[in-house]
Amino acid sequence: MTRQVIEVHELTAGHGGAEAVRGASFTVAQGTVYALLGRYGSGKTTLLETVAGYRRPMSGTVRVAGVDPYAPGETLRMGTVWREGGLFPGLTVAEVVDTWRRWTLDPLTREEALERVGLQGKAGARFERLGAGDRRRLDLALALVGRSDVLFLDEPTAGLPREDARRIRATLRELASGGVTVLLTTRDPDEACGADRIGVLNDGRLATGRAPIRLYAA
Ligand SMILES: Nc1ncnc2c1ncn2[C@@H]1O[C@H](COP(=O)(O)OP(=O)(O)OP(=O)(O)O)[C@@H](O)[C@H]1O
């Protein structure tokens, strides 16, 4: 039977009492990519932060691998990449990953982490010399260092050149084939169509469906 790694039921979430997401329900099966698609301000980031356990739900429930990600003491093998990404001036890719590994219990080896995101061969490169796509890959490698089997990604290809975006999507598909469950946000309908399932957020309301669906039909 398919295992639902992320289970969200009637979730309402927001900021200082103002609701940004209302009554969202969806599930994400193990080893699949789920895209939350929506315009600016539709509630994507608020929903992602709440499902990842960074924000307390106003009502409703979230379970990730069967546990409440907001509950104190729960440790989940999950990784997150927020839109700003990391800045590591003065360090090489290898040094950044090794620093992360030191803070992580039972981490992947540096080689494993870089290989999973296609950055093998860039270990000696200085962070400042990396292009935007490789910087995003490095963020992904750091999210994976703790052997994460769930990834939460806020607009992982936003602002990237088309080819970099395509390669990141291919990497996410490979990770999913290896059993990693991916929940991402996007403003790009093309990107959403590459996911296994799509939820469309419109002004805090989530409509769910199976890809491919016509998103902005005339
Ligand atoms: N820290 C905050 N404090 C108060 N209101 C917020 C905060 N962050 C977001 N909001 C509001 O919550 C609503 C949803 O914002 P959210 O950032 O979740 O949407 P989004 O779809 O991710 O948009 P974007 O693509 O612009 O990031 C918006 O009305 C926004 O103004």
Predicted local distance difference test score (pLDDT) of residue 21? 97
Taking the CA of residue 47 as centre, how many other CA atoms within 13 Å lie in the half-sphere pointing to its CB? Answer: 35
Residue ranges of alpha helices (H) inside the chain are 44-51, 93-102, 110-116, 132-144, 162-177, 189-193
User: Model confidence at 210, in pLDDT bands (50, 70, 90)?
Assistant: low
DSSP conformation class of 54: S
Q: What is the Å distance from ligand 1's center to 124 Cα?
A: 38
Domains, in order of start, for the chain: 1-75+189-218 (3.40.50.300)
Indicate which residue's Cα is closest to atom 17 of ligand 1: 45
Judge whether 105 and 78 are in contact, CB under 8 Å.
no
Rounded to an integer, what distance in angstroms lies between the CA atom of residue 71 and that of residue 152?
Answer: 18
Give the model confidence (pLDDT) of 47-88 as tens digits: 999 999 999 999 999 999 999 999 877 777 888 888 777 778
Buried b (16+ CB within 10 A) or exposed e, 83-118: eebeebeeebbbbbbbebbeeeeebbebeebbebbb
Site of tokens 């999913």 = 176
As for the ipTM of the complex, it is: 0.91
Judge whether 81 and 151 are in contact, CB under 8 Å.
yes
Rounded to an integer, what distance in angstroms lies between the CA atom of residue 44 and that of residue 35?
Answer: 10
Predicted local distance difference test score (pLDDT) of residue 209? 63
Average pLDDT of the residues of the chain: 90
**Direct distance between the N- and C-terminal alpha carbons of the chain, in angstroms, rounded to an integer:** 38
For 83, the 3-state DSSP assignment is coil
Give the model confidence (pLDDT) of 95-137 as tens digits: 999 999 998 989 999 999 999 999 999 999 999 999 999 999 9
Ligand 1 proximity of 84 Cβ (cutoff 6 Å): no
Indicate which residue's Cα is closest to atom 25 of ligand 1: 40
Ligand 1 proximity of 41 Cβ (cutoff 6 Å): yes
Q: 175 pLDDT exceeds 70?
A: yes
Predicted local distance difference test score (pLDDT) of residue 123? 96
Q: What is the Å distance from ligand 1's center to 70 Cα?
A: 20
Q: For residue 12, which of 55, 52, 65, 54 has the smallest C-alpha distance?
A: 55
Site of tokens 């935007």 = 132
Predicted local distance difference test score (pLDDT) of residue 141? 93
User: Model confidence at 159, in pLDDT bands (50, 70, 90)?
Assistant: confident
Q: What is the Å distance from ligand 1's center to 46 Cα?
A: 6
pTM, whole model, 2 decimals? Answer: 0.91
Q: Which residue has the higher pLDDT, 1 or 5?
A: 5
